[in-house]
Amino acid sequence: MDNHSNHHDKQRVAVISMLSSAGLASVKLIAAVFSGSLGVLSEAIHGLIDFGATIVTVFAIRWSSQPADDDHQFGHAKIESVAALLETVLLFGTAVYIAYEAILRLTTPHEPLAIAWWAFAIMVVSIVVDFNRSRALRKTADATSSEALKADATHFESDMWSSLAVLIGLGGVWVGFQWADSVAALLVSIYIGKIAWDLTSTTLNTLLDAAPAGVSTQINDIADKQNGILSVNSLRVRPAGSTLFVNLDVNVPRLLNLVSISDLKTSLVAAIQKKLPHADISITTNPVALDDETAFEKIGLIAAHYNSSIHHITVQQVQGRMAVSFDLEVDGATQLAAAHDQATKLEDAIREGLGGDIEVESHIEPQPARLLMGEPAMPAETKKIEKFLQELARSEKSLSDLHNVRVRHADGGLYVHYHCRFKPTETIDAVHAAVDRIEIAFSAKLKNVKRVIAHAEPLREARHKL
């Protein structure tokens, strides 16, 4: 059910309840005046209080449906809780007044009551109306998580039971027990007081941001079962009307990339909202180190932290001491002093990150141009180069089906691309050695070759698309 439908349903049942309260209160007040029954009068006053409460509810629902703004960034839903709290104050006032009048009538002489049949009929109709309205209000309140409608439903339920007590009291007067009317009114006041107390507790919990019972455990269980979540650091849950605001702080492996972390958060939100559809969820992720991280992974993370591009990472154990080396790419126009300073900072960070007595050194090389403007070679030149590549390929017995040859002029030299095939069981070491030999022989034969890029594919699979 969307927010618009929620608001429409809440307004509809609230208005119907308001009209019902007005009608019942008016009829009971007339019956109380003509019958002199304190029980009926207590019900009439109770009904008038309910009528005022339903008016408050209608306006509270209209206000709570307004969207969040700069001054109320979590929306206006808590106005329903304020309205519910106001209704509990009215209930307490009603209970105290009725109890006072009942005790006063029980302890002082008064004129005997003469109860007409229509007083009984009014109370029976009241019970039927109260039952139907409380059921409709409770259903909508549960569907929309409305505090105000829940309070209204409680009002009508209290009306129903108190009307039943008054009906019994009227029956007692009918058979000659004059005190039964006052006792019924006193019972009504006690019941209303209990309802008001229970509603006050629930409403105050909402206003004080008390987490709904069991919700924190549910969310923790969902997070624990989510792949990639290491642990939950903190969880804050608070209700506001139909919305449940959830702030979740979790630990994730620091090896996860940003896309994986984003996917993880999306998946966790979906899992929580499957159980709690009205949850508004904010997740904070804290990348933490794992005990089983390899030296290569740690070095890569440290380099990424320093925004440094490295490759050819080598890690050795030499007489019990770790030795790390890598190639660091810097802009070719960078002066040596600046490049060496950058390399030293990265080396120190790696040394500190790996811990212990570690040998760390870097090889500084010019960073390849990020974007090269290239032009295809002429067809004759491409054909000649492809023929030469085919000759070199024939010397490599493990290599076959050299295809997709492309030759380009860029950055003042040649860039040659081609695809080739190997047995699916061939190792990468063997594949790399074969294409390296072709590149070395090709570069020795032709001048100004910048790069020869070979794309290896397994045999018996479709050719790779360009």
Tens-digit pLDDT string for the chain (466 aa): 445 455 566 666 666 766 666 666 666 666 666 556 655 666 666 666 666 666 665 665 565 556 666 665 555 555 666 666 777 787 788 778 778 777 877 777 656 555 656 667 777 877 787 788 778 878 877 777 666 677 667 767 777 776 777 677 767 767 677 777 778 778 877 877 887 887 787 777 666 666 677 888 999 999 999 988 999 999 988 876 667 889 899 999 988 888 999 999 999 999 999 988 878 899 999 988 887 888 999 999 999 989 999 999 999 999 889 999 999 999 989 999 999 999 999 999 999 989 878 999 999 999 887 788 889 999 999 999 999 999 999 999 999 999 999 999 998 899 999 999 999 999 999 999 999 999 999 999 988 899 999 999 999 888 888 7
- Check whether residue 166 and residue 220 sit in a common domain: no
What does the alpha-carbon distance between residue 298 and residue 352 come to, in Å, rounded to a whole number? 11
* Phi and psi at residue 346, to the nearest 5°: -70, -40
Residues in the chain: 466
Q: Look up the domain containing 128 and give its range.
A: 3-207
Under 8 Å between Cβ of 352 and 402: no
| Domain finish residue from 167, 183, 207 | 207
| Domain finish residue from 173, 207, 241 | 207
- Check whether residue 187 and residue 119 sit in a common domain: yes
Task: Residue 380: give its domain's CATH number.
Answer: 3.30.70.1350
Under 8 Å between Cβ of 82 and 147: no
Residues 6+ apart with CB under 8 A from 118: 31
- Check whether residue 100 and residue 20 sit in a common domain: yes
- Check whether residue 278 and residue 313 sit in a common domain: no
What does the alpha-carbon distance between residue 171 and residue 178 come to, in Å, rounded to a whole number? 10
Residues 6+ apart with CB under 8 A from 1: 9, 143, 144
- Check whether residue 223 and residue 202 sit in a common domain: no
Inside any domain, residue 222: yes
Number of Cβ atoms within 10 Å of the Cβ of 309: 12
Question: What CA–CA distances, in Å, run from 347 to 111, 223, 350, 427?
Answer: 102, 38, 5, 33
| Domain finish residue from 207, 240, 264 | 207
C-beta contacts of 23-31 below 8 A and 24+ residues apart: 24/50, 24/126, 24/129, 24/130, 24/159, 25/50, 25/51, 27/122, 27/125, 27/126, 28/122, 28/126, 31/118, 31/119, 31/122
Task: Residue 80: give its domain's CATH number.
Answer: 1.20.1510.10
Tokens read off for 395: 């010397």
What does the alpha-carbon distance between residue 239 and residue 18 come to, in Å, rounded to a whole number? 26
Under 8 Å between Cβ of 173 and 115: yes
Inside any domain, residue 168: yes
Q: Is the pTM of this model over 0.85?
A: no
Inside any domain, residue 465: no
Number of Cβ atoms within 10 Å of the Cβ of 404: 16
Work out how many domains the chain is built from and give that number: 4
- Check whether residue 242 and residue 310 sit in a common domain: no
